[in-house]
């Protein structure tokens, strides 16, 4: 029986490897292929959408970085929705040069509802066709000076959805902020960049993206309200056949949580949101995978697949096999202990290698000293391991949107000077 269980475990591990093998191609493409670049013939009119809740400490820096873009200023308007604020975010944003609307609704909380309200106000005052595209940012973001110009090149070449290169304002603070930062850098170069080069659809990740007016009109505003509205938005558009582009040269920075409790709350919401999106859309994704052979739907399915849940089901299946046969508890424990040890070691090595490759290739874009860059390579797998309890809790807990405090008020030049 021990051999039978070992064979089952090995087969399951091989299946997981095969399912994610395509990401090895992503890694090779990200390492050796140059990003796609375009030339724009037209300058489009954009609205910048910012949802802010008690963000007085950071929002002026974002607005300043938008107003200092090398893009034609008369083609860019900045809109802020001060969402259920109890501070003077609205006043600070107006003084900085934004058009501000205030929203108070304690029943419909979350970024999705705030964006939908803001889009409704813009439609009411400017009409549905005044702006050709809408940028979406979080209040703590900072843009490089050429961000909008670079995004315009991709948008002008037919991409109705475009995401960008996400960097961190406070990578160097501790193992938590560096963990976030390294993951987002990896996501930019070795996921979205590779997808773009290979002609697959990219995935919007929270903030720093551009949407064509026709998509907003088709959706009747912003129609995604799950806990991870960005992932829901990506999934819906991929199912419809829209291709999300990526601009490797458009860089922005956002602030990562420093305290573990804030990180826990944020990633708990993300994990719950992934579950919500997976269970709502997996049938539609599967249908397009098997009936229409849509690779982007397969990629999205694997991105959403709750790996922990699948692992738990596998363990239960193994226990079922054991229960069906006459075997000793020692044989079972030995096999499961071996599996656990192998999983921990293999995961640590995988995350370390992932972090190492990303750190080496993005070295000049990681703004902290050399000693910290090296040290955070060893803590990155530990950061990723903390997703294990988060994923378990998210599976059963009832979770509501909670704001994450932001306080790092810096410019892009100050970030690069760290």
DSSP string, 47-108: EEEEEESS-TTTHHHHHHHHHT-SS-GGGEEEEEEEES-SSSHHHHHHHHT-EEEEE--SSS
What does the block give as tokens for 370?
Answer: 């050399």
Question: Given pLDDT bands bounded at 50, 70 and 90, which one contains residue 329?
Answer: low
Q: What is the mean pLDDT of the chain?
A: 91
In the predicted model, what is the mean pLDDT of residues 146-164? 97
Q: Which residue did the predictor score with more confidence, 159 or 314?
A: 159
Flag whether pLDDT at 261 surpasses 60. yes
CA of residue 58 relative to chain centroid, distance: 21
What does the block give as tokens for 415?
Answer: 């970030």
Q: Where are the alpha helices (DSSP H) in 127-259?
A: 147-155, 175-187, 193-198, 213-219, 229-240
Q: Does an H or E element contain 43, and which?
A: none
Burial of 302 (0-12, 13-18, 19+ CB in 10 A): middle
Rounded CA-CA distance 209/109 in Å is: 21
Give the least confident one: 134-138, 316-320, 343-347, 403-407: 316-320
pLDDT of residue 325: 58
- CA dihedral (136, 137, 143, 149) in degrees, to 10, reads 0
CA distances (Å), origin 408, targets 62, 169, 372, 412? 11, 8, 19, 12
pLDDT digits 0-9 by tens, 119-137: 999 999 999 999 999 999 9
In the predicted model, what is the mean pLDDT of residues 94-116? 94
Closest CA to 16 of 302, 352, 332: 302
pLDDT of residue 224: 95
Phi, psi (rounded to 5 degrees) for 171: -55, -40
In this structure, what DSSP letter does residue 363 have?
G
Q: Find residue 161's DSSP bridge partners.
A: 211, 244
pLDDT of residue 157: 97
Residue 361 contacts by C-beta under 8 Å, 6 or more apart in sequence? 30, 31, 189
3-state secondary structure of 168: strand
pLDDT digits 0-9 by tens, 395-405: 898 988 777 88
In the predicted model, what is the mean pLDDT of residues 175-201? 97
pLDDT of residue 106: 84
- pTM score, two decimals? 0.91
* Cβ burial 22-50 (10 Å sphere, 16+ → b, else e): ebeebbebbeeeebbebeeeebbebbbbb
Q: Which residue did the predictor score with more confidence, 311 or 382?
A: 382
pLDDT of residue 364: 95
Cβ pair 406, 57 in contact under 8 A: yes
Question: Given pLDDT bands bounded at 50, 70 and 90, which one contains residue 332?
Answer: low
Flag whether pLDDT at 1 surpasses 50. no
In the predicted model, what is the mean pLDDT of residues 263-272? 94
Give the least confident one: 195-204, 318-327, 331-340: 318-327
3-state secondary structure of 165: strand
Please give the share of the chain, as a percent, with pLDDT higher than 90: 76
pLDDT digits 0-9 by tens, 9-43: 667 677 777 888 899 999 999 999 999 999 999 99
Give the least confident one: 18-27, 260-269, 370-379: 18-27
Rounded CA-CA distance 283/279 in Å is: 8
């Amino acid at each position: 029986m021990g051999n039978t269980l070992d064979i089952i475990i090995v087969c399951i591990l091989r299946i997981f490897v095969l399912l994610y093998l395509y990401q090895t191609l992503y890694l090779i493409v990200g390492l050796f292929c140059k990003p796609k670049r375009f030339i724009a013939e037209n300058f489009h009119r954009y609205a910048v959408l910012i949802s802010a809740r008690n963000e007085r400490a950071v929002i002026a820096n974002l607005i300043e970085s938008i107003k200092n873009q090398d893009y034609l200023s008369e083609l860019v308007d900045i809109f802020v929705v001060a969402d259920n604020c109890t501070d003077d975010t609205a006043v600070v944003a107006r003084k900085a040069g934004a058009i501000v609307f205030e929203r108070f609704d304690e029943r419909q909380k979350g970024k999705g509802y705030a964006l939908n309200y803001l889009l409704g106000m813009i439609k009411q005052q400017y009409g549905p066709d005044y702006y050709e595209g809408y940028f979406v940012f979080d209040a703590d973001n900072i843009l490089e000076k050429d961000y909008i110009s670079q995004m315009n090149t991709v948008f002008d070449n037919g991409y109705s959805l475009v995401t960008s290169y996400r960097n961190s304002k406070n990578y160097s603070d501790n193992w938590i902020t560096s963990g976030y930062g390294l993951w987002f850098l990896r996501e930019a170069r070795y996921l979205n960049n590779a997808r773009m080069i290979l002609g697959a659809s990219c995935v919007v990740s929270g903030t720093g993206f551009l949407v064509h007016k026709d998509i907003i009109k088709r959706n009747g505003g912003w129609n995604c309200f799950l806990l991870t509205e960005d992932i829901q938005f990506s999934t819906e558009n991929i199912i419809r056949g829209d291709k999300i582009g990526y601009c490797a040269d458009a860089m922005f920075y956002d602030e990562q949580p420093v305290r573990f409790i804030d990180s826990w709350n944020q990633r708990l919401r993300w994990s719950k949101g992934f579950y919500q999106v997976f269970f709502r859309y997996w049938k539609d994704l599967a249908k397009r995978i098997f009936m229409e052979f849509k690779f982007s739907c397969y990629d999205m399915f694997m991105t959403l697949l709750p790996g922990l849940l699948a692992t738990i089901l596998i363990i239960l299946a193994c226990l079922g096999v054991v229960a069906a046969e006459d075997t000793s508890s020692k044989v079972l424990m030995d096999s499961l202990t071996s599996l656990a040890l192998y999983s921990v070691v293999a995961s640590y090595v995988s995350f370390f290698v992932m972090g190492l490759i990303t750190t080496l290739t993005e070295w000049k874009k990681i703004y902290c000293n050399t000693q910290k860059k090296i040290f955070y390579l060893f803590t990155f797998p530990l950061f990723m391991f903390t997703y294990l309890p988060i994923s378990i809790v998210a599976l059963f807990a009832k979770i509501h949107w909670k704001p994450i405090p932001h306080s790092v008020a810096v410019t892009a030049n100050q970030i690069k000077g760290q």
